[in-house]
Amino acid sequence: MKKIILNKFLPAIAFGIVILFLMPLIGASQTPNTTAKTDPVEYVIEDVHGTNIQVLEEGETQWETAVEGQVVDSGDEIKVGEGSEATLVLENETSVHLSEKSDMKVENIAPNETGGFLSRLKVLAGLLLADVKKNLQDSHSTFEVESNGVVCGVRGTAFEVNAQGDSSQVSTHEGKVEVSSGNESHMVTAGNLSAFKNGKFQIQRRLERFEVQRFQKWRAFRQVVRQKRLQRILAIKNHLRLPWQRKHPLIQRKIERDLDNKKVERILEKKKIRKKIRREAR
């Protein structure tokens, strides 16, 4: 009798044991990976053409020759001379290309609290092409480019900013760019160019053929830049090259300033204590 009962319930028992073993695996497969490593929020010079490219680190007075793999941080300025070009990459899907005779300052680059970034660039002179990651709103990221008082705000698009003297031009190749200056605001949609002078809107026109071809040429070259970036990252992971080290680290300079401030505070505090002791002694 016992044998008959055991044979009857044996399949159910076996099924229950299998479920007990599989439950941890099922739960693990459904748990989101919150520890996935993301790229650092920083601009890296991934490609240089020509030898006339220099970087001025924040707080320094000495320009230094730019090299591939160099990190450009908040407050840094990069200048591209005649016959040269440079491409910077933010994470994997946002690129900034500087043509010859260009001058750009990174006013701010930092991570936000939702896994995205806050980026603001200033074009002092020349032509900047920005190919920005799509769907920035998903991480509440912001990408802005300022030139001659004109601010371009995007959420994922491809556009150019050309600064010459007190004039600026904004060309949109994909998506749309919101351009603001003071109380004015204009939308530059794909295939159009808007011109500004001293921050004031002048005209809007369709892109000319050579302007479209210039962007198409960049898009073809972008794959080369991405491949170089992947090779650099792989070389660092395999310990074949070292990560970029700033010659004038921002963090180190801040620590030194904080230490100096604390030192001054301690000295002042000691002086106050001494004065108090002298008064009480009298």
Q: Is residue 212 part of a domain?
A: yes
Pairing of strands 70-72, 85-90: unpaired
Longest CA span, the chain? 107
Q: Is residue 282 part of a domain?
A: no
146 lies in the same domain as 81: yes
d(CA 171, CA 251): 37
d(CA 163, CA 197): 10
> For residue 201, how far is the Cα from the chain centroid?
28
- In this model, does residue 137 exceed pLDDT 50? yes
Q: Is residue 12 part of a domain?
A: no
- In this model, does residue 37 exceed pLDDT 50? no
Give the residues across from 185 on adjacent strands: 180
62 lies in the same domain as 199: yes
217 lies in the same domain as 257: no
Q: Is residue 17 part of a domain?
A: no
What would the pLDDT profile of 207-234 be if each residue is shown by its tens digit? Answer: 999 999 999 999 999 999 999 999 999 9
Query: Residue 270 — pLDDT band, cuts 50, 70, 90?
Result: low
d(CA 123, CA 131): 15
Query: Residue 138 — pLDDT band, cuts 50, 70, 90?
Result: confident
Q: Is residue 16 part of a domain?
A: no
- In this model, does residue 7 exceed pLDDT 80? no
CA torsion sign for 5, 7, 11, 13 is: positive
195 lies in the same domain as 136: yes
| Among 133, 120, 128, 57, CA closest to 91 | 133
Q: Is residue 279 part of a domain?
A: no
155 lies in the same domain as 258: no
153 lies in the same domain as 265: no
| Domain tally, the chain | 2
157 lies in the same domain as 263: no
Q: What CATH number is attached to the domain comprising 212?
A: 2.60.120.1440
Range in 30-34, 45-49, 50-54, 236-240 with the lowest mean pLDDT = 30-34
Q: Is residue 257 part of a domain?
A: yes
- In this model, does residue 101 exceed pLDDT 70? yes
Q: Is residue 121 part of a domain?
A: yes
175 lies in the same domain as 78: yes
102 lies in the same domain as 212: yes
252 lies in the same domain as 136: no
Mean pLDDT taken over the chain: 83
Task: Tell me what the mean pLDDT of segment 16-32 comes to.
Answer: 48
117 lies in the same domain as 184: yes
Range of the domain at 257: 245-274
- In this model, does residue 279 exceed pLDDT 80? no
205 lies in the same domain as 229: yes
